[in-house]
Structure 1
Amino acid sequence: MPGAALAPHGEGVAGDRAIQRSLEAAWPADLPTDDERELLIVGRALLRADATGAGRATWPGVFPRSGVVAPAFATARFRIQAAIARRDGGPNRAVVHLVWAGMDRGGTFTDLRITDRFFTRAIKKGAPTWIPQPGT
């Protein structure tokens, strides 16, 4: 997208659309629509669980129960600004690129944070599905 610019820091929800368009322009889609949709749903949920603590128990392989970690961000002060899912080196590997904003426990708000979540495709109960990788 020639001439496109990211929204300035602090633009708020109004700038999220520009961020989404920028991601899509930088990394053209390369996954089937159903795969991309599944990866985005799970990728967003994983990021939310990681940042806010809500839903970590859903993925024990990603968030082991070894000690309780206080969430760094309050659910009400967290939002995903943009997200895309793309292949990561092969047809059975993918990455979800997420751009997000949040206010930490100390009251510092930061937007345009970047997180990547990695996945591998596996067959579960006869159907292919995307499995999140721990430590990413």
Structure 2
Amino acid sequence: MSTRSSAAPTSSAPPSVQSALPPHGEGAAGDRFIQHNLEAAWPADLPAVDERVLLGAGRALLRADATGIGRTAWPQVFPPTGQAVTPAFATASFRIQAAIARRGTSPDTAVVHLVWAGTDRGGAFTDLRVTDWHFTRTSAKKGAATWTAQPRT
């Protein structure tokens, strides 16, 4: 006669811990996991139209900041200096991995959190870089609100 034990075997090994982030260097395939984790960590708190507008502006600002392309569209953030800007990151390797827009410290402020990857001028590739852009809501004519990017301090 045989008996079976329903008790689980005991082990001194710790349970396996799985990272919520994709492995380093996963490439674009890992971006959806980063986006999911960013959204889970900070649930949406803005109207969808505001979030859409802010995400577009935040992405454009980051691209302008990292690659130098499009800076003239943001004179309040990138004042004209009269000198050419050498981009810090190659346009071809620049990629936004994830982005969210959330309410700031007051109802009329917002922040766009971006996680991105790129190859710098020295040829070093880095992913999971984080940049925040802050915005202030201003009232335009006819009651429409607009979001204005704030210069970095």
TM-score range for the pair, normalised by the shorter chain length: over 0.9
Partner of 2:137: 121
Matches for 1:46-85 after TM superposition, within 5 Å: 46-66=61-81, 67-85=83-101
Count of matched residue positions in the alignment of Structure 1 and Structure 2: 134
2:116 is aligned with 1:112: no
Q: What is the distance in 2 between the residues matched to 1:128 and 1:88?
A: 16
**Residues 4 and 22 of structure 1 are in contact (CA less than 8 Å); yes or no, is this contact kept in structure 2?**
no
Q: What is the distance in 1 between the residues matched to 2:46 and 2:19?
A: 24
Equivalent position amino acid for 2:150 in 1: Q
Partner of 2:33: 18
Q: Which of 27, 45, 51 is the matching residue for 2:60?
A: 45
Q: What is the distance in 1 between the residues matched to 2:116 and 2:133?
A: 13
Shift of 1:123: 1.3
Rg larger for: 2
1:16-39 deviation line (CA, Å, top 9, x unaligned): 000000000000000000000000
Q: Which of 83, 104, 107 is the matching residue for 1:88?
A: 104
Alpha-carbon RMSD: 1.3
TM-score by length of 2: 0.84
1:85-129 deviation line (CA, Å, top 9, x unaligned): 000111100000000000011100000000000000001233201
Gaps (5+ residues) in structure 1? Answer: none
SS at match of 1:57: helix
**Residues 40 and 84 of structure 1 are in contact (CA less than 8 Å); yes or no, is this contact kept in structure 2?**
yes
**Residues 39 and 96 of structure 1 are in contact (CA less than 8 Å); yes or no, is this contact kept in structure 2?**
yes
Partner of 2:22: 7
Equivalent position amino acid for 1:128 in 2: A
Shift of 1:4: 6.7
Greater percentage in strand: 1
**Residues 77 and 103 of structure 1 are in contact (CA less than 8 Å); yes or no, is this contact kept in structure 2?**
yes
**Percent pairwise identity:** 70
Higher relative contact order (CA 8 A, sep 6+): 1
